Chain A
Amino acid sequence: MNHRPFEDWLLDDQLLDPAQKRELDGHLRSCEICSAIAESNLALRSARVVGPAPGFTARFQERLVLARRAQRRRTLLGTLFFSLGGMLLLAALAGPTLVSVLGSPAEWISAMIQALLFIYTTLLAVTEAGSVIFRVMPGFMPPFVWLILLSTLSGLGLLWSVSIWRLMRRPQGVQA
């Protein structure tokens, strides 16, 4: 037998039967490459497990305390930074409006009333238009169109409910 299968047996760490083992032993006596692979495999198999210096757990606990302290500091600094940033941003955005309101309150109050009136009249108009459409539409639409429309709306509602339920579900075991 040539060199190749023996090398593959060693490199793939294959399980050998007694006859194959005998053949391999014979080959190892004459092949330097295969005997080097076999020796290095054997050396790795007999290698020792090295442990840390004594007191590893105590050193870890010290490190954990430091890490927790650093985490607390980061959280505090982050909260401070975002709170201050938010307040500054709010002041920058709302500042000009606030100045104008404080400068002329009557003008600002009349503008607010106008806006509220506009919203109210728009809502009234939309409601009126909607009621007219609902009164007129049933005459134009045959019953099966209503059936399709209602089925579609129910289907969409069901889909929405299922999506919400799936999103709310807690994951069962997260892979590391």
Chain B
Amino acid sequence: MNEEQTWILQAKNGSDEAFTYIVETYQTPVYNLCYRMLGHPQAAEDAAQETFLRAYQHLHRYDMKRSFATWLLSIAAHYCIDRLRKRKLPVFSVDEDEETTFQIPDAQALHPEGEAVRGEHREQVHQLVQTLDTTDRAAIVMRYWYEFSEKEIAEALNLTVSAVKSRLHRARKQLGKIWQESSTTAQVERSPYESPAF
């Protein structure tokens, strides 16, 4: 039994200290998933808190043979999917993101220009993901941010492996299409007075 499993076992036996350790360890992955799913920092904070609360209440159901991260992120993904289905969330604001989220430091962020381009890129990625269907979005987030295998995604989202493959295929196609459209629009916006003749 490794250290993490010991903490989980202690939390299962009612230790608040052990559960606090779990929250400390998994707060960033859970928050990131909620943020990528919901697109809004405040909603992500609320969803991440709710995820840990549900995990705390249902910890006795957790099977120690399974991966804890998959179990926890599965709770987060299902909560976000339900929430998105229940109501349309307000459109996120870039300014609000700056105020309430905490970016993990990037070692490459030494050049301001490069950082600005990367920031633009990140925003584009964030907006791209928001265009996807809720379950496709969860599958994409798990694949790209957490490097989950198709089997792990299937387990987390209660889908078959072939359904996950098909969802990832469809999502990538849609993302490529939107990426192409946005690149074309950006080119037009950057050179509004240019004539093809010159």
Chain A residues engaging chain B, CB cutoff 8 angstroms: 10-13, 32-34, 36-41, 43-54, 56-57, 59-61, 63-64, 67, 173-176
Contact = CB atoms under 8 A, between A and B. Distances in A.
Interface residues of B, number: 58
B27 A56 contact: yes
B58 A176 contact: yes
A11 B173 contact: yes
B103 interface: yes
Given A51-B101, A52-B102, A173-B65, A37 B49 contact: no
Interface of B: 20, 23-24, 27-29, 31-32, 35-36, 41, 44-45, 48-49, 52-53, 56, 58, 60-66, 71, 74-75, 100-104, 106, 121-122, 124-126, 128-129, 140, 143-145, 165, 168-169, 172-173, 175-180, 183
Contacts, number: 137
Given A33-B176, A50-B31, A51-B32, A40 B128 contact: yes
B173 A64 contact: no
Shortest 9 CB-CB contacts between residues of A and residues of B: A37-B176, A36-B180, A40-B179, A173-B63, A52-B31, A51-B28, A44-B144, A40-B175, A36-B176
Contacts of B183: 36, 39
A56 B106 contact: no
Main secondary structure of the interface of B (DSSP, over half): helix
A170 B53 CA distance: 26
A3 to B, nearest CB: 13
Contacts of B48: 52, 56
A56 B31 contact: yes
Given A36-B176, A51-B32, A53-B101, 12 more contacts: A33-B176, A37-B179, A43-B128, A47-B144, A48-B103, A48-B104, A50-B103, A51-B28, A52-B27, A56-B23, A173-B63, A176-B66
